[in-house]
Amino acid sequence: MRRWQAIFLSILVGAMGAAAQAQQAQQPGSNEILIRNATILTASHGTIENGSILIRNGKIAAVGKDVKASANAKVIDATGMYVTPGFVDSHSHSALDGTNEGSLSVTAMVRMRDVVNNTDINIYRQLAGGMTTIHQLHGSANSIGGQNSIIKLKWGRTVEEMWVADAPRTIKFALGENPKRANFNASQGTPRRFPATRMGVEETIREAFTQGREYSKKWEDYQAAKARGENPLPPRRDLKLEAMADVLKGKIDIHSHCYRADEIVMLMRLCEEFGIKVRTLQHVLEGYKVAPEIAKHGASASILPDWWAYKMEAYDAVPFNAAIMTHRGIVVSIHSDSNEHARRFYQEAGKMMKYGDLTEEQALRLVTLNPAIQMRLDHRIGSIDVGKDADLVLLNGHPFSIYSRPEVTMIEGEIYFDRKEELKRRDLLVKEKKDLIERERRSPQQVQPTQAAPTIIPTIAEDDPDRHP
Amino acid sequence: MRKKKFYLPLVCVIVLFLMASVSIIVRPTSARMFDGEAYAIRGATVVTVTGAIIQKGVVVIRNGLIEAVGADIPIPGDARVIDATGMTVYPGFFDSYTNYGIRPAATPTPRPTGDDPMQAFIAQMTAPPSTVGLLPEVTVVEQLQVTETTFDQQRAAGITTALTAPRTGVFQGQSALINLGTDTAEKLILKAPFSLNIGFTSARGGYPGSLMGVFAFLRQSLLDAQHYREEWARYTKAPRGAQRPQVSKSLAALQPVINGEMPVIFNTSSVREIQRAIGFAEEFKLKYLIAGATQSYQIADYLKAKNATVLLSLSFPQRPQGLEDPEREALRVLRERAEAPKAAAALHKAGVRFAFSSGTLVRPQDYIANAARAIEAGLPKEEALKAMTIYPAQIFGLSEQLGSIEKGKIANLVIATGDIFTRDTRVRNVMIDGRLLDIRPPETQRQTGPLAGGRRGERGAVPGTETPGSAALAAGTWLLNTNSPSGPTASTLTLRQDGESLAGEISTPLGSVPINNGRIRGNELTFDFTLNIQGQQLPITAKGKIDGNAISGMMEVMGQSYDFSGTKKPNQQ
C-alpha cells in the first residue's frame, strides 16, 4: 500500500516538475536581461566599447561585443552609458543597530549580523551611488571587537535576504589610539579599561590568542577522550574563546583597524607567532612606509584615500598610499567608513589616478574587485565576468567624472535603484506625506478618551422585594 | 484547588469592606449579613463571548465564581441583586502585557563607610557594574506592590486581569498573571511565574553595552544553562566518585526555559526586533510569545508561517509633542503612525493568534479607545472583544478559569453602560473574584482635569486644547530606584505640578535637596538637582517618562548615565 502511494506520489511530483519545466520552456528568456550598447568597465579585463551584457537568473551569462539573447529577454538600451561592477565597500558601519561593544577589551563573541538594520535609509542612498555590497564592521573601541557582517544592499528585502550566504566570517581588531583611549573620558573614579598603551594592546591580543589556543586544546582533549570510548563531560562552550579559536584555525579572517607603521608590523609579527595572517589592514595610513613587510606577510590593505591629520596617529598619511602599496603588489581597496562618502564612492577611486598614476582599471578595482578579494567574494562579485552575480551600475558618464551619476543599480539582475523611477515616484511620495500630515492635522488628538470622568453610581438595587427579575 | 484559594480571604475582605463602609455601592445603612457571598446581576445584556449574547440575562455569582448564567434562571434567595437593566455585562478584560503594580526590587543602599560621603559616593560609582536586568531568577512576584488604589485606572477601563513584568534590561523578570483587585499581591496572583520576559535594552556601565552584546549575552546564558543541565544530569545519575558541580541561581532559573516548559516573552516593537526575537527563539527551540509588535502589520504572513503568538500593543505611536514643522518627520514615521491601528486587522486576516496588551500606553482608559480604533481599521468587533478576553485566557492557559461568562469561571466581570467600544460608554463597576468594586475617576482627571485646574488656577491647562498626554501626572510622591553601578539606589521624589512646571524635592542616600528647572511636557519630565557632598557640588540632570503610576528615565551624573524607574506612592486619601 505504502509502496503504491510512494510510486503514485513520485509520478505526480514528476508530472508537476515537467509541467513547470514546460511552462518555462514556453517562455524562453523570460529570466534574461540584455544590457546593450554600453561602455563596459569590467574591472578584470579592460573596457569594452559598445558592448553587451547578458544576465540570466541573476548571473552574468555573457559579456562582449557580440552577445545574443533570447527573443523574450528584457532589453536595456544603454547607449551613451557606462556599466561598472557594483561597488563594494570593505569598511562600512551602515545599516547596523550598533557599532561598538566597548565594555570589554575583547568582545569576539558579539556578531554584527545580529543587528543588521534593513530599513536604514543609507542603504537606498548608497544604492543611488552604485554601492551593492558592504562589509559591516564592528567599531574600533577595543583591541578585539566583534564578528563582522557582509550584506548586499537589497533595499526592501529582509535581513536574511541581504546576508551574503557564503560570505566568510571576519572579525574586527583595532590598534592604537582608539582601543587604548576608549574610556579616557570615563567619569571621575571609574577605573580605566586595560589597555591604556600600544604595548597593552599587543598584550591584550596575545592573551586572547593564548586563551583561544588553550580553549581549542580543551576541546581536542575532549574529542580524543570520546574517540577512546570514554564519556567525558563536554567543556563549557565559550562564545568568545570559540571565536578566538576559529581565528587561530584560519576560519575567521582578521580585519584590523591600524594607523602607524610600528603597530602594523607588530600585529603581523604577533599573528605570525601564532601561525596566522592578517587578512586586511583597515585605514593603514602609514602602510606605504612598510609596504614590503605587508606584501611579504600577505596582508591586503583597505584605506581611506586622502584623509589625514584628523588625529595624532594620522599625521603621516599621504594620498599616494594606495599607489605605493599597489605597486608593491598589495591588494588595495578604498573604503568609505562613512554613510556620506559611501554615496559617491566611485569618485574616491578616481583620485588615485592623480596620486601615484594608477591606471583606470587599477583605480576602479580599488572599489570593486579588490575589496571583493579582501572579503573572499571575488568568485561571485567585483568584476563583470561570466558566472558572477549580476551586480551592476549603469552610469550616465565615466565613473571618475564628478559630473557622472548612477542611473540604474542592480543586484543579482534585479533593479534596486532606477533614477527615472525614483524621480517619478518622488511626487507621489511628497503627496502621500502631505496627505498623512493633513490627516493628522484634521484629528490632532489621535486618542480620545472614551470615558469621561466616571461618577460613582450605585448600581445595586438594594432590597428588591421579591429578588426576582 | 484554585477555587478554594479565593474563598476564605474573599469573605474576610468583604466583611471588612462592609464594616469599614468604604464602599459607596453598598449603602452603609443597608449593611446586613448575608449567608454567602452571592450576587445576581439581572436585566443586563450579557456578552458571554464564548456563547450567544443574552438579552435581559442573569448572572449569578457565588463565592467568587460564576454559578449560573442565562436568560430565565432563578435568582437565589440569598443573593444580593444588582439591577443592571440597560447595562451590558462583559467578562473582565485582560491586558496581556504591562508593568502594572511593580515596584523594582530595591536593594538597600550600601551605608557609607566611615564619615566621608564623597568616598562613599566614589565607592558606589566605582563598584562593579550592576546586574539589574541580567538575572533570569528575578521574579515579578517579589516586586508586586498592590494597594486598594493601585489598579483604579485599570478597573475604570474594565481591565481585571494582567500579565505584568518590568520592562528594563535583558532578563526583565519572570512575569505574573494577576487579577487587578484590591487584595494583597498574594491573593491576586493567578499564575506566577508564567514566563521569562526578555528585552533588548543593554545594561549600563558594563557588558553587555550594545545590542550585539545583548545577543551574545543571551546566547551565552542559554548555552551555559544547557551545560549546567548536562553537568547536573550526569552528577545526579552517578554522584559517586564525581566532582559535585556548583549551584547557580541564574542557570537553574533558565532550566524551564531551555526545556521549553516556560515560555519567553520578547518585548519588541519594530519588525526587525520581532524577527531577531523569533530567530533567537528558534536557535534555542524556545517556546515564545511576541509582545508589543506594533509594526507586526508589515509581517503578518511571516508571523503566521512561524505560528507565532502576539501580545499586540494598543499603544499606537503618537505625534511627538511640540513638533513645530511636521515636514521634518520622515514619511516612514508618518506611515507607521497611520498604519499601527491596522495591525490587529492584519493579524486577524492572516490567522495569527493574538491578544491585546496596553504596552506602553500612558492612560489605561485609552486601552478600550484604541481597541475601538483597531475595529475602525478593519478588525471585526467580536474579534477585538475576544482579543481582550478569551484569546488571552487561552494563550495564558487560563481558559478554564477566565475569558468568558460561563458557569464555574472566576467572576471577573465588567458592567458597562452599553457597548464597550462606543464612545460614550462608561464602565460602571467591575467585579473581580466575585467582589464588586466601584470605579474611581482616573487619576489624571482628578488632578489636572478642569476641576483641579480651576482650583489651582493653572496656566494654559484649558481642557480639550491640551494634547492628551500632557494630562500625565507628575504631582505626588514617587519611589525611585536608580541603577547605579553598585546596584539599585532608592530615593524619593516629591513633586508639585503647576501646569507644565514642576517643583519639589528629591531625597537620596546622600541628602535631600530641592529640584530645579522641573518641567513636564506631555508625559515627559525633566528636572535637575545638585547634591552637596562635603562642599563639592555634584550636578545631576534627570529625564523621565510617566506611564500611569510608573516612571522611568535616565539620570546623568558627571557624564555617566544611569537609568531609573519607580512607582507612585499610592494616594492615601
CB contact under 8 A, B216 and A107: yes
CB contact under 8 A, B213 and A233: no
pLDDT over 90 at B360, yes or no: no
Q: Is B327 on the interface with A (CB under 8 A)?
A: yes
Range with the poorest average pLDDT among A193-207, A314-328, A446-460:
A446-460
Preferred mutation among A151, A447, A463 to probe B, highest tally of B CBs within 10 A: A447
Q: Is B155 on the interface with A (CB under 8 A)?
A: no
Q: Do A336 and A395 sit in the same domain of this protein?
A: no
Range with the poorest average pLDDT among B4-8, B253-257, B449-453:
B449-453
CB contact under 8 A, A454 and B428: yes
Question: Using a CB-CB distance cutoff of 8 angstroms, which residues of chain A are in contact with residue B227?
Answer: 234, 236-237
Distant-in-sequence, close-in-space partners of A279: CB < 8 Å, separation ≥ 6? A170, A253, A254, A255, A299, A300, A374
Q: Is B135 helix (H, G, I), strand (E, B) or coil?
A: coil
CB contact under 8 A, B210 and A448: no
Range with the poorest average pLDDT among A161-175, B132-146, B285-299, B540-554:
B540-554
CB contact under 8 A, A460 and B26: yes
DSSP assignment, residue B341? G
Task: Find residues 510-569 of chain B whose CB sits inside 8 Å of chain A.
Answer: 557-560
Closest Cβ opposite residue B558 in set A187, A448, A453 = A187
Residue A127 lies in a domain: yes
pLDDT over 70 at A456, yes or no: no
Closest chain B residue by Cα to residue A430: B331
Q: Is B418 helix (H, G, I), strand (E, B) or coil?
A: coil
* For chain B, percent of residues with pLDDT exceeding 90: 52
Asked whether the beta carbons of A305 and A400 are under 8 A apart, the reply is no
Residue A239 lies in a domain: yes
Cα–Cα nearest to B321, from B447, B459, B468, B453: B468
Q: Do A138 and A209 sit in the same domain of this protein?
A: yes
Euclidean distance between CA atoms A384 and A365, whole angstroms = 11
Nine-digit cell string for B249: 541561581
Cα–Cα nearest to A410, from A402, A421, A401: A421
Q: Is B29 on the interface with A (CB under 8 A)?
A: no
Range with the poorest average pLDDT among A171-180, A204-213, B109-118, B163-172:
B109-118
Closest chain B residue by Cα to residue A426: B331
Averaged pLDDT score across all residues of chain B? 82
CB contact under 8 A, A459 and B87: yes
Q: Is B79 on the interface with A (CB under 8 A)?
A: yes
B509 half-sphere exposure, CB direction, 13 A CA radius: 20
Question: Using a CB-CB distance cutoff of 8 angstroms, which residues of chain A are in contact with residue B424?
Answer: 450, 452
Q: Is B175 on the interface with A (CB under 8 A)?
A: no
Q: Is B271 on the interface with A (CB under 8 A)?
A: yes
pLDDT over 80 at A337, yes or no: yes
Question: Using a CB-CB distance cutoff of 8 angstroms, which residues of chain B are in contact with residue A455?
Answer: 441
Torsion on CA atoms B396, B397, B401, B405, rounded to nearest 10: 70
B16 pLDDT tier (thresholds 50, 70, 90): very low
Closest Cβ opposite residue A433 in set B331, B372, B468 = B331
Nine-digit cell string for B9: 480571604
What's the longest Cα–Cα distance across chain A? Answer: 107
Question: Using a CB-CB distance cutoff of 8 angstroms, which residues of chain B are in contact with residue A458?
Answer: 24-27
Q: Do A267 and A408 sit in the same domain of this protein?
A: no
Please give the average per-residue pLDDT across B382-405, as a whole number. 98
Asked whether the beta carbons of A411 and A86 are under 8 A apart, the reply is yes
CB contact under 8 A, B227 and A237: yes
pLDDT of residue A145: 96
pLDDT of residue A210: 98
Domain boundaries, chain B: 1-92+403-440, 139-202+261-321+328-400, 446-568
pLDDT over 50 at B465, yes or no: no
Closest chain A residue by Cα to residue B280: A114
Q: Do A272 and A340 sit in the same domain of this protein?
A: yes
Closest Cβ opposite residue A450 in set B24, B77, B368 = B368
How many Å lie between the alpha carbon of A217 and the closest alpha carbon of chain B?
Answer: 19
CB contact under 8 A, B369 and A468: no
Instruction: Show the 3-state SS of chain A.
Output: CHHHHHHHHHHHHHHHHHHHHHHHHHCCCCCEEEEEEEEEECCCCCEEEEEEEEEECCEEEEEECCCCCCCCCEEEECCCCEEEECEEEEEECCCECCCCCCCCCECCCCEHHHHECCCCHHHHHHHCCCEEEEEECCCCCCCEEEECEEEECCCCCCHHHHECCCCCEEEEEECCHHHHHCCCCCCCCCCCCCCCCHHHHHHHHHHHHHHHHHHHHHHHHHHHHHHCCCCCCCCCCCHHHHHHHHHHCCCEEEEEEECCHHHHHHHHHHHHHCCCCCCEEEECCCHHHHHHHHHHHCCEEEECCCCCCCCHHHCCCCCCHHHHHHHCCCCEEECCCCCCHHHHHHHHHHHHHHCCCCCHHHHHHCCCHHHHHHCCCCCCCCCCCCCCECCEEEECCCCCCCCCCEEEEEECCEEEEEHHHHHHHHHHHHHHHHHHHHHHHHCCCCCCCCCCCCCCCCCECCCCCCCCC
pLDDT of residue B18: 41
pLDDT over 90 at B230, yes or no: yes
* CATH superfamily ID and name for B139-202+261-321+328-400: Metal-dependent hydrolases (3.20.20.140)
Please identify which residue in the block is written with the cell numbers 583597524. Answer: A257
Residue A7 lies in a domain: no
Residue A454 lies in a domain: no
Question: Using a CB-CB distance cutoff of 8 angstroms, which residues of chain A are in contact with residue B418?
Answer: none
Residue A285 lies in a domain: yes
Residue A24 lies in a domain: no
Q: Is B211 on the interface with A (CB under 8 A)?
A: yes
Q: Do A126 and A232 sit in the same domain of this protein?
A: yes
Nine-digit cell string for B83: 439591577
Closest Cβ opposite residue A447 in set B77, B223, B369 = B369
Question: Using a CB-CB distance cutoff of 8 angstroms, which residues of chain A are in contact with residue B83?
Answer: 459-461, 464
Q: Is B446 on the interface with A (CB under 8 A)?
A: yes
Task: Find residues 376-435 of chain B whose CB sits inside 8 Å of chain A.
Answer: 415, 422-429
Asked whether the beta carbons of B270 and B297 are under 8 A apart, the reply is no
Please give the average per-residue pLDDT across B231-241, as a whole number. 96
Please give the average per-residue pLDDT across B483-490, as a whole number. 63
Cα–Cα nearest to B471, from B364, B567, B371: B364
Range with the poorest average pLDDT among A66-75, A128-137, A361-370, B4-13:
B4-13
Question: Using a CB-CB distance cutoff of 8 angstroms, which residues of chain A are in contact with residue B153?
Answer: none
How many Å lie between the alpha carbon of A232 and the closest alpha carbon of chain B?
Answer: 10
Closest Cβ opposite residue B425 in set A112, A446, A450 = A450
pLDDT over 70 at B433, yes or no: yes
Cα–Cα nearest to A183, from A103, A83, A86: A103
CB contact under 8 A, B212 and A436: no
Burial (Cβ within 10 Å: 0-12, 13-18, ≥19) of residue B115:
exposed
CB contact under 8 A, B425 and A97: no
Question: Using a CB-CB distance cutoff of 8 angstroms, which residues of chain B are in contact with residue A429?
Answer: 331
Could you report the per-residue pLDDT of B35-55, keeping only the tens digit for each?
Answer: 358 999 999 999 999 999 999
Could you report the per-residue pLDDT of B103-143, keeping only the tens digit for each?
Answer: 755 444 444 445 565 565 555 555 555 677 889 999 988 88
The CATH code of domain B446-568 reads 2.40.128.120
CB contact under 8 A, A112 and B271: no
pLDDT of residue B126: 52
Closest Cβ opposite residue A118 in set B272, B423, B438 = B272
Euclidean distance between CA atoms B201 and B215, whole angstroms = 10
pLDDT over 80 at B23, yes or no: no
B169 pLDDT tier (thresholds 50, 70, 90): confident
Q: Do A63 and A181 sit in the same domain of this protein?
A: no
DSSP assignment, residue B326? G
Could you report the per-residue pLDDT of B508-547, keeping only the tens digit for each?
Answer: 877 788 888 888 887 888 898 888 765 667 778 888 888 7
Strand ranges, E, within B7-111: 38-46, 54-62, 65-70, 80-83, 88-91, 93-98
Q: Do A204 and A339 sit in the same domain of this protein?
A: yes
Residue A455 lies in a domain: no
Number of domains in chain A: 2
Note the ipTM here: 0.89
Residue A52 lies in a domain: yes
Q: Do A34 and A142 sit in the same domain of this protein?
A: no
Q: Do A63 and A168 sit in the same domain of this protein?
A: no
Interior angle at CA A320, CA A319 and CA A326, nearest 5? 130
Averaged pLDDT score across all residues of chain A? 89
Asked whether the beta carbons of A260 and A234 are under 8 A apart, the reply is no
Preferred mutation among B212, B243, B439, B473 to probe A, highest tally of A CBs within 10 A: B212
CB contact under 8 A, B25 and A459: yes
Euclidean distance between CA atoms B292 and A75, whole angstroms = 46
Q: Do A290 and A349 sit in the same domain of this protein?
A: yes
Q: Is B466 on the interface with A (CB under 8 A)?
A: no
Domain end point (choices A327, A357, A381): A381
Closest chain B residue by Cα to residue A101: B210
Burial call A220-233: b when 16+ CB within 10 Å, e when fewer:
eeeeeeeeeeeeeb
CB contact under 8 A, A440 and B326: yes
Strand ranges, E, within B165-287: 171-174, 176-179, 189-191, 196-198, 264-268
Domain end point (choices A381, A408, A442): A381
Closest chain B residue by Cα to residue A147: B212
pLDDT over 90 at A94, yes or no: yes
Domain, as residue range, for A321: 87-381
Preferred mutation among A158, A441, A448, A450 to probe B, highest tally of B CBs within 10 A: A450
Could you report the per-residue pLDDT of B63-103, keeping only the tens digit for each?
Answer: 999 999 999 899 999 999 999 999 999 999 999 999 888 87
Euclidean distance between CA atoms B171 and A322, whole angstroms = 48
The CATH code of domain B1-92+403-440 reads 2.30.40.10
Q: Is B438 on the interface with A (CB under 8 A)?
A: yes
Q: Is B445 on the interface with A (CB under 8 A)?
A: yes
Euclidean distance between CA atoms A191 and A121, whole angstroms = 38
DSSP assignment, residue B556? E
How many Å lie between the alpha carbon of B207 and the closest alpha carbon of chain A?
Answer: 5
pLDDT over 70 at A448, yes or no: no
Interior angle at CA B534, CA B531 and CA B540, nearest 5? 20
Question: Using a CB-CB distance cutoff of 8 angstroms, which residues of chain B are in contact with residue A107?
Answer: 207, 213, 216
Question: At A71, which CATH number?
Answer: 2.30.40.10
pLDDT of residue B458: 30
Q: Considering only residues A256 and B185, tell me which one the structure prediction assigns the higher pLDDT.
A: A256
CB contact under 8 A, B276 and A189: no
Question: Using a CB-CB distance cutoff of 8 angstroms, which residues of chain A are in contact with residue B440?
Answer: 456
Nine-digit cell string for B100: 502594572
Question: Using a CB-CB distance cutoff of 8 angstroms, which residues of chain B are in contact with residue A439?
Answer: 338
Asked whether the beta carbons of B164 and B146 are under 8 A apart, the reply is no
Domain end point (choices A362, A381, A400): A381
